[in-house]
Amino acid sequence: MREIRRVAVIGAGTMGRQISLQCARHGFPVALFDVQAGALAEAERWQREIARGWVEIGELMPTREDAVFERIRYEVDLAQALGDADLAIEAVPERIELKRDIFARADRLLPAGAIIASNSSSIRVSALEDATERPELVANLHFYLPVWDSPMVEVGGGSCTDPDVLAALTQFARAIKILPLRVMRESTGFVFNRVWRAVKKEAMRVADSGVASIEDIDRAWMIKFGREKPPPFAQMDRIGLDVIHDIELHYAAESGDREDRPRPILTERVERGDLGLKTGRGFYEYPDPAWMRSDFLNPDAEDG
Ligand SMILES: NC(=O)c1ccc[n+]([C@@H]2O[C@H](COP(=O)([O-])OP(=O)(O)OC[C@H]3O[C@@H](n4cnc5c(N)ncnc54)[C@H](O)[C@@H]3O)[C@@H](O)[C@H]2O)c1
């Protein structure tokens, strides 16, 4: 079976910085590329903060912290980032033309035989494969946020992906301690995102049509499914409302169904620049969102 030894991650945003850190933590040399030098600097700062946290709670030996960062190269030159990689994972914004452009450039710059994978949340890799001259070496490799707390990844091929590529990606996922979920047939949204899509879409419809408040929908969710994890609107804030918006637009373009278009409750926030946790305001306000307060689910609290 082909072996993945060196990884390149394209895009150092919310996902790229996590995927690259997970790779480095589990022994893979990784090059992290972004078009913006500032995004790389911010990614490194963030990764070091996370690694320090792991050391503090005993999840990472202090002696291993430096080794993790010795394995990460921060690159502003795509050719440098890709020149020695066995696997490139793109994590750039959810726009099909941008991803096709990245696939085409990666195809020209990667060694022969290297795999190109997309972390897209909704775009099937068969919509990207013909941007390359190596359609048998492309795949969807869809991680979830936060990568180490939601340790699963969907692995799926396009119209002609070599089964050996999927086997190598499955083995790679296990090597970085992420459970691979095999997508047996191409499907927009893969496995869990199809389920999550129904949840977030209906949650937004219920709020948008004035049936219930964002907070009450989230309260109901937390009471039924657990108080520790973010409920639907809080989770959308974490993902990024711009990312959610792009995904909804993609679903709508694919189905042609007006009902699939992003709801005003989402669009109006994106237009205002209220993108969730990353901008300090989305469905909730940060750093102290109401859903995390101790009285959020308290029946005695006035707003509870
Ligand atoms: N946010 C999530 O929870 C999540 C989860 C799973 C998958 N995804 C998918 O991962 C991808 C990235 O999402 P994100 O949330 O990390 O986005 P993001 O906006 O946080 O980060 C995207 C990064 O890509 C960079 N970029 C833009 N154009 C580029 C180019 N041409 N070359 C290199 N870098 C470029 C940007 O500077 C930015 O740093 C999307 O396809 C999204 O659907 C997101």
Is 91's C-beta closer than 6 angstroms to any atom of ligand 1? yes
Mean pLDDT of the chain: 96
Q: How far is the CA of 36 from the centre of ligand 1 (A)?
A: 12
CB of 7 sitting under 6 A from ligand 1: no
Task: Tally the domains of the chain.
Answer: 2
Residue 13 has pLDDT above 70, yes or no: yes
Residues 36 and 99 in one domain: yes
User: Can you tell me the distance from the alpha carbon of 59 to that of 28, in angstroms, rounded to the nearest whole number?
Assistant: 18
Query: Do 90 and 176 share a structural domain?
Result: yes
Note the pLDDT of residue 1.
78
Q: What are phi and psi of 127, to 5 degrees?
A: -85, -5
**Residue 303 reports pLDDT greater than 90:** no
Tell me if 300 is assigned to some domain. Answer: no
Q: What is the pLDDT of residue 301?
A: 83
CATH number of the domain that residue 174 is part of: 3.40.50.720
Distance set, CA 105 to CA 70, 86, 99, 249 (Å) = 27, 15, 10, 25
Q: Which residue, judged by its Cα, is nearest atom 1 of ligand 1?
A: 239
- Whether 13 is in the pocket of ligand 1, judged by its Cβ within 6 Å, is yes
Query: In this predicted model, which residue has the larger pLDDT, 255 or 130?
Result: 130
Q: With pLDDT > 70 as the criterion, what percentage of the chain qualifies?
A: 99
**pLDDT score for 191:** 93
- Residues ≥6 apart with Cβ < 8 Å to 93: 11, 13, 242, 243, 246
Instruction: Report how far ligand 1's centroid is from the alpha carbon of 211 (Å).
Output: 33
pLDDT of residue 49: 97
Final residue in a domain of this structure, among 182, 211, 228: 182
pLDDT grade, residue 188 (50/70/90)?
A: confident
pLDDT band at 304 (very low <50, low <70, confident <90, very high): very low
Atom 7, ligand 1: residue with shortest CA distance? 121
Tell whether 102 and 228 lie within a shared domain. Answer: no
Q: Residue 225: give the domain boundaries.
A: 192-292
pLDDT for 93-120, tens place per residue? Answer: 999 999 999 999 999 999 999 999 999 9
Per-residue DSSP letter, 3: -
What's the predicted TM-score (pTM) here? 0.89
- Mind listing the pLDDT tens digit for each residue in 55-96? 999 999 988 999 999 999 999 999 999 999 999 999 999 999
Quick: pLDDT tens for 158-173. 999 999 999 999 999 9
Among 139, 159, 182, the domain-final residue is 182
Q: What is the CATH number of the domain that holds 227?
A: 1.10.1040.10
| Residue 51 pLDDT greater than 80, yes or no | yes
Does the beta carbon of 193 sit less than 6 angstroms from any atom of ligand 1?
no
CA of 80 to the centre of ligand 1 (A): 20
Q: What is the pLDDT of residues 229-250, one digit of tens each?
A: 999 999 999 999 999 999 999 8
Q: Which atom of ligand 1 is nearest to the CA of 120?
A: 41
Q: Which atom of ligand 1 is nearest to the CA of 118?
A: 41
The secondary structure element, H or E, covering residue 66 is: helix 62-70
